[in-house]
Homo-oligomer: A and B are copies of this chain.
Amino acid sequence: MRNKYIQIYKDIVDDITKATYQPQTLLPSEHELMDKYGTSRETIRKALTLLAQNGFIQKVQGKGSIVLDTPRFDFPISGLVSFKELANQLGENHKTIVEKLELLPPTEDMKGILQIDSSEEMVWEVQRVREIDDEKIILDKDYIKSSKVEKLSREVCASSIYEYIEGELGLTISFAKKEITVEEPTKEDRNLLDLEGFSNVVVVKNYVYLEDASIFQYTESRHRPDKFRFVDFARRTKN
């Protein structure tokens, strides 16, 4: 069986979420887990390291691994979560309106951001408004390199660009750099969103990279402030 440590990881995640292993108690020791899963200690340790990274346990030397009760659900925008997942999690009535879908030559700014050298490369510009409970809450402005994604349709934009890219095109998104600031709404924001009296929008800038470390997309997500929420779990790393 390949990826034994991931199987073990999932198995223990199950046991934690089903409360077979209770919060604030100790997991079985690594030696006991070796016996239980019939594997070597390093493999058990890989599974435990994954659990710790994802906030399920806390390892304490000389003592054991403590099961955490930090509620790990409700991660609306953390990591690489897309709007589709977000909306599903919220379980609310949601809709996506594609305001713009064009293949254009990049501005100088965008050439810098997307690391475009060639004078021929074009950029997909997509603008989508996210509506939740009949209120236009989020404006997503995407810029995608045409060399990575040749075709793009309104249908794909309305459901999920990520599913298309990872499913149909077989590309793998690997990491992202995110920057959150608060700005005054632009005229565009006011036109496209139900901003009512709000005098700020929360801007999430997202630089998205593929497996080979090449940038492939820049997204600017502009949120009405009252509906914005960002959750983060940070573990102190060694030195």
Is B10 within 8 A of A234, CB to CB? no
Q: Which residue of B lies closest to A199 (CB)?
A: B199
Residues in chain B near residue A230, CB distance under 8 A: 179-181, 230
> What are 14 residue pairs bridging A and B, where the CB atoms are less than 8 Å apart in the complex?
A3-B238, A6-B239, A50-B237, A58-B212, A79-B234, A173-B236, A175-B233, A175-B235, A176-B234, A178-B234, A179-B229, A182-B182, A182-B202, A199-B199
Using C-beta atoms within 8 Å of the partner chain, give the interface range for chain A: 35 or more
Q: How many monomers of this protein are in the complex?
A: 2
* Any B CB within 8 A of the CB of A17: no
* Any B CB within 8 A of the CB of A137: no
Residues in chain B near residue A234, CB distance under 8 A: 78-80, 175-178
Given A53-B237, A63-B212, A180-B231: 14 more A-B contacts, CB < 8 Å: A50-B237, A58-B174, A58-B209, A58-B211, A70-B177, A80-B234, A177-B233, A178-B232, A180-B229, A180-B230, A181-B230, A182-B200, A182-B202, A230-B230
